[in-house]
Amino acid sequence: MAKITLQDIRHAYGPNPESDEDWALKKLSLDLADGGAYALLGPSGCGKTTLLNLISGLLTPTEGRILFDNADVTQASPEQRNIAQVFQFPVIYDTMTVYDNLAFPLRNRGIGEKEVDARVREIGKMLELDHMLNKRASGLTADGKQKISLGRGLVRSDVNVIMFDEPLTVIDPHLKWVLRSKLKELHHRIRRTMIYVTHDQTEALTFAEKVVVMKDGQIVQIGTPIELFEKPKHTFVGHFIGSPGMNLLPCTVEGGRAVFAGNPVAAANAAAYKGNGKVLEIGVRPEFVSFGAQGIPVDIVKVADAGRYRIVETRHQDHSIKLLVAEGLVLPTRQAHLQFDPAHTQIYEDGWMVS
C-alpha cells in the first residue's frame, strides 16, 4: 500500500513535442491517498488511460516525477512498482487452469506453493470462482475471464495500487452491476488503493470516493461525487456528469447580480465576480430548477417521462432550459415561470466557476 504523488507530470507519445496538441497529457500534479478508491473519468481520448499507464509504469513520463510513499519510482518497471492492473479486455493465459492463472503472479515472484494455494483459494472464494478452479480458463465466459484478470490483481497481498482500465466494457449489462458491487465490496474489505478508469459516469460515481474528471489531457476537477454534482468547477463537469446535464445560460453581471436575458438571477457566487471574463454563463442543474408563481417566463416545449420524474424542456426566447419534475406533480399549461435554487446556481467565467 502506498500514497501516490504525481509531480508536474507531462507526457507526449511522439518525440520532440512542440505544440499543445503533441502533449497527450498536459502538466498536472495529483495526490492519491493510501487506501482510497479513485475514478478517472472523461471522454475517450482525454488522456485517462495515459495517466493510468504512467502510474502503473507501462509508460515513462516525458517530464515530471512519480512518487510512491515519497520514494521516486519514475524510472521503475511495473514489476518493481508492485502494482496490479486489470485491462479493458480480459487477459487470461489460455492454456492454464483458473487456479494456475490466479497463481501465476505469485509463482513468478518465487512464493512457496503452500502460501500460493492459500491465497488462490481465498481469492477464488472472494470472486466466486472456487467451484471452477480446475477448469481451463479459456472455456469461461467474458465476465468469468474478467474475474480471473481481477483475481490476478488481488491475489498479491502487498500490491501498492490496483488499477482498472475500463474493466467492464465487454461485460453484459446485467453482470456489470454485479461486478461493480463486487469491486466496491472488495475495496471496503481490503482497503487497498484502487484507481478506476472509465468514461461512464455511473461507474465512476458508484465506485469512487473521489473522482478525477479529465478533459483534453488536463484535470478539470477532483472531488467527491456530491461535490461534482453540486459544485461543478467547470461547465464541462456540469455537462458531462448528470443526466440531463447542467443548464448553461449566457448572462451578464451587473452590480453583484447575474442577469440572464433581462431577468435578474440570484447566484451563490455572484459577489465573488471580479469582472475580467470574456464569456459569462449561469450554470444550474435541472434538479435545482422548479416552476413558480413568478420568475423567468418560459414556454414548455417537450416533456419526457423518465420513470420517477419527468424531464421538462422549456424555452425562454432562444434559450432552452431543462428541469426535473417529480411524478405526480401537475405541470403548468403553456405559460409558466421558472425559479432557480440560489444555493445551486453558479456563475461561470470562460468555463470556470467564479470563486
Give the distance between the most distant pair of CA atoms in the chain: 76
Minimum distance from residue 166 beta carbon to another protein (Å): 11
Distance CA 324, CA 314 (A): 11
Q: Which three cell numbers stand for residue 56?
A: 502503473
Task: Identify the CA nearest to 127 among candidates 103, 107, 155, 100.
Answer: 155
- CA distances to 57, 161, 210 from 36, rounded to whole Å, are 20, 10, 8
Minimum distance from residue 123 beta carbon to another protein (Å): 14
- The separation between CA 259 and the C-alpha centre of its own chain, rounded to angstroms, equals 33
φ and ψ at 327, to 5 degrees?
A: -70, 145
Residue closer to another protein by CB (options 56, 314) is 56
Minimum distance from residue 56 beta carbon to another protein (Å): 7
Residue closer to another protein by CB (options 145, 234) is 145
With beta carbons less than 8 A apart as the criterion, state whether 39 and 207 touch: yes
Residue closer to another protein by CB (options 110, 275) is 110
Residue closer to another protein by CB (options 163, 251) is 163
Distance CA 70, CA 261 (A): 52
Distance CA 296, CA 274 (A): 26
H helices of 127-251, where? 142-154, 173-190, 201-207, 225-230, 235-240
Residue closer to another protein by CB (options 99, 104) is 104
Minimum distance from residue 244 beta carbon to another protein (Å): 35
Minimum distance from residue 80 beta carbon to another protein (Å): 10
Q: Which three cell numbers stand for residue 179?
A: 461486478
Residue 309 β-bridge partners: 326
Minimum distance from residue 88 beta carbon to another protein (Å): 7
Distance CA 252, CA 250 (A): 7
Rg of the chain over CA atoms, in angstroms?
Answer: 24
Distance CA 284, CA 321 (A): 9
Which residues in this chain contact another protein in the complex, by CB under 8 A? 56, 58, 77-79, 83-85, 87-89, 91, 93-96, 104-105, 108-109, 136, 139, 149, 152-153
Minimum distance from residue 78 beta carbon to another protein (Å): 5
Residue closer to another protein by CB (options 82, 218) is 82
Q: Which three cell numbers stand for residue 269?
A: 457566487
Residue closer to another protein by CB (options 91, 300) is 91
Cis omega (within 30 of 0) for bond into 167: no
Residue closer to another protein by CB (options 105, 245) is 105
Minimum distance from residue 95 beta carbon to another protein (Å): 5
